[in-house]
Structure 1
Amino acid sequence: MKKVFLYLLTGSMLLLAACDKRMATADNQPEIINPGTNPGGKNPLPDKPVKAGVQGIVSDENGNPLSGAQVACGGILTTTDTHGAFIIPEVTLQEAAGVITIKKSGYFDGIRTISVTGAGKLQYIQVQLLPKKAAGVFDAATGGNITASNAQFIFVPNQVLNANNQPYKGKVTLLYAPINPEHPDFADIMPGDLRAIDINNAIVGLKSYGMMALELQGENGEKLHLDGTNNVTFKLDIPATLQAGAPATIPLWHFDEAIGLWREEGSAQKIGNSYVGTVKHFSFWNVDAKFPVVKFKAVFQDDKGVPYPNIKVTITRSQEISSSYGFTDEAGMVSGDIPSHEELTITIEDKCKDIIFTRKIGPFSTDANIGKITIARGLQLTLALHGKIISCSGAPVKTGVVNISVEGISYRAPIINGNYNVAAPRCSNNNAVEVIINAVDEGANKMSTIRQQLAPGDYTRDMQACNNIQPGEIKLLLEGKAYEFNTISDSIRFRTSNDSSTRYQITFSKAQPSLNKGSWVFYTIGLGSNNYSTLNLNVDGVAYYGSLNTEVTATGGPGEYLEGSLFGNVYNYSTQAQVPISGSFRIRIE
């Protein structure tokens, strides 16, 4: 799970707006110097597609896991489980900038951009969603001033439109969330990865002096938007530790959700201890200084040669109090963009947030790969598993993999000469949790799965892979045409959710053509008939939706199979008619 190394420069953000006698008003708006705009120019990154996997953890503003959040990536949808975890084993992404979007009612969208580290590699991300909170209310016809926790906004009359692009009549609520660059979880909160496209269409890195999420809502909860012609003037407090060195003029950047990068659009002026600027549309906005970047790679392993997966890596600039954050992949690798021509300090944190490694690196004028770095493992800070895997005949497995799942996150290690060695980072105060260990003999197409309650520590677990692995499949008959999805050539994924209405979700998609895909929600997977389920389907460019009856003939726990048949009617969005659908399914439960 290769994870992009994000260069995220931190500062701090005041919670209360500063008292500046030069604050702009509707009658006294400042002159804004515009260095140029690039609101929707060409994306300079290569558009090479690659198939890889994505997994991660989604949490709320307090760091608590969020279940039932919808995760969208490359046309595939899934939901987070009780641990806030999700996984999409295979999806087509843009190699230079793969975009993952997380949605949950009551929250601003969480968006992460990753540099995919290789075909077939499972990427890891962490995303913390921000709640949508009302900063204030104004009348659309007259405009008004809104004072938020660390910002102020001035709206002019009749600049708010409804979904039909007509002037909105009524009260408008500004939904607002400050994004504090000094927050310890800044890397999980902010959208993208702080790569940006400047007005010269070049890729640069950003140092944030403040960030915000903005949305307009009508009296009935409907989403509204600005007219794109008239300005909204804003005043945003500069973080206290960055005020002295804050530039007099700084570029403004909006987040382009389609490509997962920030774009330079306008500028803001420093007035007192705040930045004042104007915007014509709402999204995520950022006041940032830019800097040139080079690509960086490193691999971290323990003293036994076992990779350190999913651990936090921090890089700090020598002349700054600001830092960057990233997470290693399943092979212990971290990669991404870092500042060029600067001395940097790299540090590693364990899951208890204690520093276990630090070193000076750089400066780098070209792309840098500093190779493997060995850090002695603390057994109380990992859940380490090793042992032997034998075949049905008792011989060592020659080709295979061991997968373990800990609180919704997957780790894996190859079987080499019948042996495996895998470790999951934990904290010394973690209690025992259920660990699912799955050994796969790929040469014989056999497997074995065990479940155990394990605390951090070192364990030997030998296993015999002797159960048949059956391919999963979904067969559908729709409007006289047959469609088939299987785990040999396509993607089928079973997930458990803790949403109040959704209990199980299956996502499936064809490798080719990419338009053929679907999302299927089950409310029960018990044996019997009339098990209610809903299906969203897109085949041959036509979208369908409907509620289905199912006959479940086989079920079980993780590693076993959900089998049965389905029938019912679905709505054809193209013809606006109800059409019959039937089929069968065999899906491995995870």
Structure 2
Amino acid sequence: MKKNFKKYLALCTLILVTILACQKEEQIPQDAVTATTTQKAENADSERIERALREYKGREVEGNFIGRVIDEDNQPIIGATVTLGGQQEVTDANGIVSFINVIVNQNFAYAQASAQGYSNGSRVMVPTGSNSFTIKLFSLGNAQVITSDGGEISINSEEIGETYIRFNGGFMDENGNPYNGNVYVTANYLDPLSEDTANTMPGELYGIDANYQEVALGSYGMISVEMRGSAGEKLQITNPAQIEIPIHPSQMGAAPGSIPTWSFDENSGVWVEEGVAINNGTHFVAQVTHFSFWNCDAPFPVVNFDATVVQSGTTTPLSGMTVTISYSTFSRSAVTNASGVVSGKIPSGQVLTITVTDPCGTVVSTGTYGPYTGATSLTLPATLSTVPVNVSGTVVNCSGALVTNGYVIYKDTGGQTLGFATVTTGTHSYTAVACSIPITIVMDGLDNATGQTIVTTAAIANPTATANLVACGGTPTEFIRFSVNAGPLQYNIINPGGGVQTPSFINLGAQSPTSGTYIFGNTITPGTYPFDTNMAGPPALAMEVLGDVNGIDPVATVGIPGAIQFTILNVGGVGAFMEIEFTGNYIDRFGTTRTITGEAYIIRDY
């Protein structure tokens, strides 16, 4: 069992989104679809896919990224693990992570997120000068139950129609062992024309076709399917299943008789063409041989794209603006970041209608653009009904020195997040559209270098305001500290928290400016225990994440000679301290054996 932190520290950062971002009917003959699906799945060559991506990704570059992980209700997910460019970070109390000087590719940056109780999510970006992303994860808490003999589930898509998934029986666990018993299926339909799909779908509408060529995708609808066994283990199907994805009413007239199907490959971060779906009049129907995300898409040649939204007649960038690109019967949307930018991959050779909408729901720019045959950068002037608001100023630490590694979060008086800004030169600035002025903007944040929070400050913008901020809000007395290979002590002191869940599962952790350490176990009794990730076995503890630059591979660490041992010294009641010491060997994320000694001193929250 993993941690479930309830302590809320007022730190944050991030910015909104990033990238631009099949009722039951007659069943088609299964052989007609199965033959095509199986052939393409078997012929898909992972090495050729990787070779193709190496060509399209471009050279390696260094960049900074800030991201947010949220649930289906747009609430932050605390303690989610996010990887990007070989670095691994953990989300804070606001669901936020930041990556500094991370190595990605010029045309391809791939962020992956996972959290206990949620399906995995990801985002693909074309890096720009200011990089941000949002990943929305689906909860596993609303599963439908079938047996391993098979069954049918449905998803109600309201005005669009029902999605159906028909299982023919036959399941296996992650190790390939046959599974018998109840199967808990979590399935979700993603509306191809919804603005929110840009955050919820994995990767980007970007794939590798059956000829190993890169393509942009126009979606007719997608589904996510995750299956778990009675003990929570992940399952896969061993016999083909049938999916029926409803055709959106707005796309019905243009929907072809058949359409390629694509599955999302988590390893490469792209959609891979695997078969064909048949249009039966209301649904696209296909046979699939495995489950993850499936998408019914029309492929197009692809170009890299970015656009900056500015106030008309000026160069002032506008954040928080929704940019919608429409072509044929398809559309995709994203929200501008702190630099007013959206970026991603779009179809080449298509006439595009681009619409910009402000946070108040007013269309402030619309026009026809393209077609484009190469990488394209646009400036989109927006005519506003009110002047933009701006708040800016300095950010200093407790000694009065300029903060060079931090961030500021901007909120309204009701606590709604308006935007974020990174701090690298001791200054901050936020420009956006307000539905009316004056407006009160509340700011807080963090100095990553010291772990000190920014003292909460409010400013009234009419339309501008100066807010000089101080990152001296105090350092928590709680910490996790450790030494790797007898090196200097490393402290994780940001967003500490933890507690005990029934019957005796312990969870605790804290973050550093770049990562975090999280410890979990199935006992709270004082004593010494081995490192083991199997919480269904004898008493044990483990680290899911380690705040060292090289991280930890918890699965590889289990059972190695001299593996980490944990000593529980004390687990007090709520409001008292939980004290754990740990020492021994572990395997890092790169396969190297290292030695660690440390301790955790965290107040129990629940």
Q: Give the TM-score, by structure 1 length.
A: 0.71
1:183 aligns to 2:181 (yes or no): no
Going from structure 1 to structure 2, the CA distance change for 1:171 and 1:270 (only over 3 Å counts) comes to same
The reply on whether 1:519 has 2:525 as its aligned counterpart is no
Residue 364 of structure 1 is matched in structure 2 by: 372
Q: 2:467 matched to 1:451?
A: no
Matches within 5 A, 1:28-177: 33-34=36-37, 36-37=40-41, 38=44, 40=46, 41-43=48-50, 44-46=52-54, 48-73=59-84, 74-81=86-93, 83-117=94-128, 121=130, 123-132=131-140, 136-140=144-148, 142-149=149-156, 150-157=162-169, 159-177=170-188
SS at match of 1:483: coil
- Aligned-residue offset at 1:423: 2.0
- Pair 1:410 & 2:420 matched: yes
Partner of 1:558: none
Task: Give CA-to-partner distance per residue, 1:368-424, whole Å, 9 cap, x none.
Answer: 223474655835x64x124589999x9xx9998995322575315787xx9975425
Which residue of 2 is the match for residue 240 of structure 1? 249
Partner of 2:391: 385
Partner of 1:225: 236
Counterpart in 1 of 2:585?
572
- Corresponding residue for 2:4? none
Per-residue deviation, 1:436: 3.0
CA spacing shift, 1:369–1:477, aligned 2, 3 Å: closer
Distance in 2, matches of 1:84 and 1:262, equals 26
Q: Specify whether residues 42 and 138 from structure 1 end up closer, same or farther in structure 2 by C-alpha distance, changes over 3 A only.
A: same
Mapping for residues 433-512 of structure 1, pairs under 5 Å: 434-436=442-444, 451-454=456-459, 457-461=462-466, 463=468, 476-478=482-484, 481-484=485-488, 494-495=494-495, 505-507=510-512
Using the TM superposition, give the Cα deviation of residue 105 of structure 1 relative to its aligned residue in structure 2, in angstroms: 3.2
**2:206 is equivalent to residue 204 of structure 1:** no
2:292 counterpart of 1:280:
no
1:311 is matched by which residue type in structure 2?
A: M
Asked if structure 1 preserves the Cα contact closer than 8 Å seen for 2:391 and 2:461, the reply is: no
Give the stretch that moved more between structures: 248-257 or 304-313. 304-313
- Is the 8 Å Cα contact of residues 324 and 331 (structure 2) preserved in structure 1? yes
1:314 to 308, 324, 334: 324
Contact 1:298 1:335 in 2 (8 A): yes
In structure 1, how many angstroms separate the alpha carbons of the residues matched to 2:422 and 2:138? 32
The count of corresponding residues between Structure 1 and Structure 2 is 514
CA distance in 2 between partners of 1:426 and 1:335 (Å):
24
Does 2:23 match 1:23?
no
Tell me the distance in 2 between the aligned counterparts of 1:166 and 1:71.
29
Change (3 A) 1:279 1:421: closer
- In structure 2, the partner of 1:264 is 273
For 1:92 and 1:107, how far apart are their aligned partners in 2? 27
SS at match of 2:99: strand
Preserved contact between residue 40 and residue 274 of structure 2 (Cα < 8 Å): yes
Aligned to 2:533: none
| CA distance, structure 2, for counterparts of residue 60 and residue 330 of structure 1 | 22
Partner of 2:225: 214
Match in the other structure for 1:330: 338
Q: Which amino acid aligns with 1:333?
A: V
**Residues 1:348 and 2:348 are matched in the alignment:** no
How far, CA to CA, are the matches of 2:424 and 2:143 in structure 1?
52
Return the letter of the residue paired with 1:290.
Answer: P
Aligned AA for 1:312? T
AA aligned opposite 1:240: P
Task: Provide structure 2 residue ranges, at least 5 long, that are not aligned to the other structure.
Answer: 1-13, 157-161, 412-416, 502-506, 521-540, 558-562, 570-578, 602-606
Higher helix share: 2
CA 1:420–1:221 in structure 2 vs 1: closer, same or farther (change >3 Å)? closer
The partner residue of 1:581 within 587, 597, 604 is 597
Amino acid across the alignment from 2:517: S
Q: CA shift at 1:353, angstroms?
A: 3.1
Q: Secondary structure at the match of 2:323?
A: strand
Q: SS in structure 1 opposite 2:377?
A: strand
Letter of the 1:156 counterpart: N
1:536-588 superposed Cα distances (whole Å, 9 cap, x missing partner): 446598757665899xxxxxxxxxxxxxxx9932353569x997714999xxx
CA displacement 1:116-151 (0-9 Å, x = unmatched)? 225xx4x212232223366644432x4344444323
Q: Which amino acid aligns with 1:581?
A: T
Q: Is the 8 A contact 1:195 1:204 kept in 2?
A: yes
Pick closer, same or farther for the CA change 1:98–1:430 going to 2, 3 Å. farther
Using the TM superposition, give the Cα deviation of residue 435 of structure 1 relative to its aligned residue in structure 2, in angstroms.
0.5
Q: Residues 115 and 370 from structure 1, CA distance in 2 versus in 1: closer, same or farther, beyond 3 angstroms?
A: closer
Distance 2:114 2:405 in 1: 33
User: Who is 1:554 aligned against?
Assistant: none
Contact 1:4 1:117 in 2 (8 A): no
SS of the residue corresponding to residue 118 of structure 2 reads coil
- 8 Å contact kept, 1:67–1:497: no
State the alpha-carbon separation in 2 of the partners of residues 164 and 132 from structure 1. 21
C-alpha separation in 2, matches of 1:134 and 1:466? 42
Q: Are the equivalent residues in 1 in contact too, given 2:64–2:102 (CA < 8 A)? A: yes
Q: Which amino acid aligns with 1:113?
A: V
Shift of 1:448: 12
Long gaps (5+) in structure 1? 510-516, 523-532, 551-565, 586-590
8 Å Cα contact 2:403-2:447 kept in structure 1: no
The Cα of 1:178 is off from its aligned counterpart by 1.3
Counterparts of 2:89 and 2:453, CA distance in 1: 28
Q: 1:534, 1:234 → 2: CA distance?
A: 39
Could you tell me how far apart the structure 1 residues matched to 2:111 and 2:95 are?
A: 15
Question: Hey, what's the Cα distance between the residues in 2 that align with 1:482 and 1:390?
Answer: 33
Comparing 269-278 and 32-41, the one that deviates more: 32-41
> Which residue of 1 is the match for residue 305 of structure 2?
296
Q: Hey, what does 1:553 align to over in structure 2? A: none
Task: Give the Cα separation in 2 of the matches to 1:109 and 1:6.
Answer: 18
Call closer, same or farther: CA 1:453–1:398 in 2, change over 3 Å. Answer: closer
SS of the aligned residue for 2:463 comes to strand
